[in-house]
Structure 1
Amino acid sequence: MLPVRRLLLLPLLLVLSLTACAERQKDASAESANTDGFPVELRPEGAPAITLEERPERIVSLSPATTETLYAVGAGDQVVAVDEMSTVPEEAPRTQMSGLNPDPEQLAGYDPDLVIVDSDTDGKLTEALDKAGIQTLVLPAPQTLESMYAQFELIGEATGHAEEGADLARRTREEIDKLVADVGDAGEGLDYYHELDPSYYTVTSATFIGQVYDLFGLTNIADQGDPSAHGGYPQLSAERILEADPDLIFLADTICCGQDADSVAERPGWGTLSAVQNGHVIELDDDIASRWTPRIVDFVRAVSDAVAQAA
């Protein structure tokens, strides 16, 4: 009976052996997935370089644009808290934390291994978090589209999603390039006014937003010979805008301030503007028109459509 019993046990032992081997391979693969690409040195434009020894598993984002990009590259599961202004995506763990005046003790309460901010001019936040064993990655607002693409890639590298970050940058670039190519030179000879709020604060072509309009060959009425004046964010007068009579008016104050084509037409004298009379007042989503995220494509599409209609 013993030989027969041994023969009956052989298949069972083989199955157990194969199962154990598969589990070891699975564990090894999981460990490899978590460590591939690390340690990684990150060199953000305009901010200090840092080295991450391991993939961060608990990330706090105090930058709405970065929050969107973290989810876009597939790192959403690693995000444990975001600031009060990070409204996209809806599932992001939004808190009452301020990205403008971050509290190191409040941040430490979320037990993060990485905190991402868009500014730390005096380095005090980084210093305080470093004492608590928490690394800080500063990602300033990009000044160009190329810098934005590079930031997508960097966020992918920082979170263990390098391929996804590179793919996001490539797809965003291709979509924008196609939207620009589709209208060709239709924007040449057209000028525009981009409104940040009803008190006529605007942008020049020296800003990130202005460079989007530059892609279409549009002329900015706010440049006035020096696009860099006032940091690229001057306040115009109603008289200056009426005198310029822009072909296109883009409203980036629809959510914050309730502005739309009708309210613009009701302003004293604005009903005579070409953009108003021709129906070329474009209502933008404030967030999309001000954040360097993958949704920038929606902003570019709105400009592309407006240019095509006005040509």
Structure 2
Amino acid sequence: MLSVASFAAAEVEPDSLARCVIDDRDRKVCLEAPAQRIATLSPGATELTYAAGAGEQVVAVVSYSDYPPEAKEVQSVGSHTRMDLEALVTLRPDLVIGWITGNPPEQLETIEALGLPVFYIEPRGVDGVASVIERLARLAGTESVGQKVADGFRKGMSQLKERYAHRDPVPTFYQVWDEPLMSINDEHLIGQVVQLCGGANVFGDQQRLVPRLDDEAVLAANPEAIIAAGMGEENRHWLTRWKQYDELEAVAQGNLFFVPPSLIQRPTPRLLEGTKLLCEKLETARERR
């Protein structure tokens, strides 16, 4: 019923019923008809699929797929790092949404070898999030819903950029993890959000997308604001460690901020809400000067 085609020999005619998109691995993925049974292999993929208007077609998710709430009722086939392939195949998905850097490559290769179409995602920018929604909607036959959501996301992010991007820079340390201590560089989606809000990422020039650090590196960078997300919605204790360093500008100014990770660390439409919160935190830091 379904196929993933390279189309090296021929392109689909414009009036064909096939639905073709390019995924984030630059592969052409084609379905003969809109997907009716979708498996999403990361919490972000689940949320994006629902945002694209295809929530009713989702038959399999992985652990921590907790948004929207109805996603909790869908059968889980393991975690994003280790799926139960037998359970997945039993659910007969006609489209699998894979996470390029988050799912085990060998498991995704096995899924493809079984003849299941895999659409790989890895949004690396604001437009990448909107684009994934549009492409998922194309594969699911929910274009009108997906387009509306994508357009609204682009518009909201553009408005925030226009409002905050050119304000006085706030040297910012974004803590993406606690043990080991980790941040993000300017190429990371969160790094782009920091810039959009008028922040100057103190580790933005690091080569690694998610560099590992130590307390001494943060002390040397001396950020004016520290923003932590935590592992859960209330892991505010990540900020407590910095209060021992009175010499930090962020501590002296009281600029230790928390943003719920589900709003800022998942590349989904809720990133708009997380960006708004982050921009407001940096604006508070400006006001305290």
Band the TM-score falls in, shorter-chain normalisation: 0.7 to 0.9
Work out whether 1:258 is the aligned partner of 2:235: yes
State yes or no: 1:248 paired with 2:212: no
CA contact (8 A) 2:137 2:146 kept: yes
Q: Choose 57-66 or 129-138, whichever is displaced more.
A: 129-138
How far has the Cα of 1:283 moved from its partner?
0.5
Once the two structures are aligned, what percentage of the paired residues are identical?
25
The amino acid that maps onto 2:209 is: G
- Aligned pair in 2 of structure 1 residues 253, 62: CA closer, same or farther (>3 Å)? same
Residue 274 of structure 1: aligned partner: 249
8 Å Cα contact 1:260/1:283 also seen in 2: no
Distance 2:83 2:138 in 1: 25
Q: Which residue of 2 aligns with 1:221?
A: 202
Q: What is the correspondence of 1:197-236 to structure 2 with a 5 Å cutoff?
A: 197-198=177-178, 199-223=180-204, 226-227=205-206, 229=207, 231-236=208-213
Out of 271-280 and 298-307, give the one that drifted further: 271-280
Over 3 Å counting, the alpha-carbon distance change for 1:59 and 1:149 in structure 2 is same
CA, structure 1 residues 277+85, in 2 after alignment: closer, same or farther (shift >3 Å)?
A: same
Matches within 5 A, 1:87-236: 87-92=66-71, 93-119=74-100, 125=107, 128-130=110-112, 132-139=114-121, 141-183=122-164, 185-186=166-167, 188-198=168-178, 199-223=180-204, 226-227=205-206, 229=207, 231-236=208-213
Residue in structure 2 matched with residue 54 of structure 1 by the alignment = 33
Structure that is richer in helix per residue: 1
Q: CA deviation at 1:295?
A: 0.5
Hey, what's the Cα distance between the residues in 1 that align with 2:147 and 2:225?
34
CA displacement at 1:287 relative to structure 2: 2.4
Q: Does 1:307 align with 2:282?
A: yes
Alignment-derived partner of residue 9 in structure 2: none
Deviations 1:132-174 (A, max 9, x none): 44322222x2222122221111011111011222221110011
Are 1:283 and 2:263 an aligned pair? Answer: no
Partner Cα separation in structure 2 for residue 254 and residue 62 of structure 1? 19
Do 2:99 and 2:120's aligned partners in 1 also have CA atoms closer than 8 Å?
A: yes
What is the rounded CA distance, in whole Å, between the counterparts of 1:192 and 1:278 in structure 2?
Answer: 13
Structure 1 position 282, deviation (Å): 1.4
- Structure-2 separation of matches of 1:38 and 1:134: 19
Q: Which amino acid aligns with 1:115?
A: V
Q: Indicate the structure (1 or 2) with the bigger Cα radius of gyration.
A: 1
- Matches of 1:103 and 1:47, distance apart in 2: 27
Task: Name the TM-score, length of structure 1 as normaliser.
Answer: 0.78
Segment drifting more, 119-128 vs 73-82: 119-128
For residues 83 and 24 of structure 2, the distance between their equivalents in structure 1, rounded to whole angstroms, comes to: 22
Deviation at 1:298, TM superposition (A): 1.4
After superposition, give the CA deviation of every residue in 1:63-93 in whole Å (9 maximum; x if it has no partner).
Answer: 2111111112221111111011312122111
**Secondary structure in 1 matching 2:156:** helix
Distance in 2, Cα, partners of 1:279 & 1:155: 42
Distance 1:307 1:89, change over 3 A: same
State the Cα distance separating 1:101 from its structure 2 match.
Answer: 2.7
Structure 1 residue runs without a partner (length 5+):
1-35
SS class of match (1:170): helix
How big is the alpha-carbon RMSD for the aligned residues of Structure 1 and Structure 2?
Answer: 2.5
State the secondary structure of the residue aligned to 1:137: strand
In 2, the alpha carbon distance for the partners of 1:308 and 1:257 equals 22
Higher alpha-carbon deviation: 257-266 or 204-213: 257-266
Q: Is the 8 A contact 2:239 2:257 kept in 1?
A: no
Do the aligned partners of 2:164 and 2:196 also contact (CA within 8 Å) in 1?
Answer: no
